[in-house]
Amino acid sequence: MMKICLDAGHYGEYNRSPAVSEYTEAECMWKLHLLLKSELEKYGVQVILTRTEQARDMSLTERGRRGAGCDLFLSLHSNAVGDGVREDIDYPVAYVAIDGKADEIGLALAQCVEKLMGTEQAARIEKRRGSNGDYYGVLRGAAQVGTMALILEHSFHTNTQMTEWLLIDGNLKRLAAAEAAVIAQYFNLEEEENMLRYERLSDIPDNWDKEGDPRATIEKLMNAGILNGDGSDRSGNDDIVDLSHDMVRTLILEYRGGAFDRALIAAGFEPAVEIS
């Protein structure tokens, strides 16, 4: 099983933004790393967290060594330029280990951040060498246990626009999903059986349909784009499908009658009935 170690940069209320006082790097990156954990688990990844309490401090090298036995160590941060506001700097950067192993995935993740956050400056990767190997302690710790590692900076919290963007929970969810997809593509992972994701939709019954699994039918309609939603949680997001028993019955009866067949064919799926 693929194993990834996620590290939320800093702890407590560390690194308050000079641009938007409500923002702290530690609190925002804690939220993001938990969201990313959930997204990665959809691909069957075993996710290790460097710590279980947001307020807990740990040494940098110890955090990096928590990645022992993992395929990737990823530390999440937002960047800063000095102590004041700098509206002219917003590039995402991945600080990658000096061994070069994380160059490709580091750049892909930084470019993912650039695209989603709409930064004016291009994403990049950088390496910093210290007197004992990698300059950054978490990367040095990961190197000590032989784990590919990088630090991903989500633009700059010294930039007002970027900081305000990161304060929106919905944007953090988008980042988590997109970053998980980049990681999955790099490691050639696919999401586990979609049916498992919809087990959280408790109002889709499991056994009333004697001729087939109703979840499989709903899954097919969603994959074809006929129904919208990913079924990933029930927190009131716009992308959730919430169906009553009667609605499921109606959809399946319409499906069996061929009501969606032309749309299914157009989307590259097999129809329910043969169309002449």
The pLDDT value given to residue 232 = 47
The pLDDT value given to residue 205 = 52
What would you measure as the largest C-alpha separation in the chain, in angstroms? 73
The number of folded domains in the chain is: 2
Domain carrying residue 247: 194-266
The pLDDT value given to residue 265 = 86
The pLDDT value given to residue 234 = 42
Instruction: Give 262 or 77, the one with higher predicted confidence.
Output: 77
Residues whose CB falls within 8 Å of the CB of residue 36, separated by 6 or more in sequence, listed in order: 6, 76, 175, 176, 179, 180
Element (H, E) at 156: strand 149-156
Q: Which amino acid is at 180?
A: A
Q: Which of 57-71, 91-105, 234-248 has the lowest mean pLDDT?
A: 234-248
Please state the rounded mean pLDDT for residues 175-199.
77
Task: Mark whether 178 and 212 lie in a shared domain.
Answer: no
Please state the rounded mean pLDDT for residues 175-184.
96
In this structure, what token pair is assigned to residue 256? 């069996």
Residue 188, Cβ density class (10 Å: 0-12 exposed, 13-18 middle, ≥19 buried): exposed
Task: Mark whether 178 and 198 lie in a shared domain.
Answer: no
Q: What is the pTM of this model?
A: 0.71
Instruction: Give 191 or 178, the one with higher predicted confidence.
Output: 178
Task: Mark whether 102 and 201 lie in a shared domain.
Answer: no
Task: Mark whether 251 and 149 lie in a shared domain.
Answer: no
Calculate what percentage of the chain has a pLDDT beyond 90: 66
Residue closest to 108 by CA, chosen among 152, 140, 162, 65: 152
Q: Kindly state whether residue 273 falls inside one of the protein's structural domains.
A: no
Instruction: Give 268 or 110, the one with higher predicted confidence.
Output: 110
Q: Kindly state whether residue 275 falls inside one of the protein's structural domains.
A: no
Q: Kindly state whether residue 63 falls inside one of the protein's structural domains.
A: yes
The pLDDT value given to residue 195 = 36
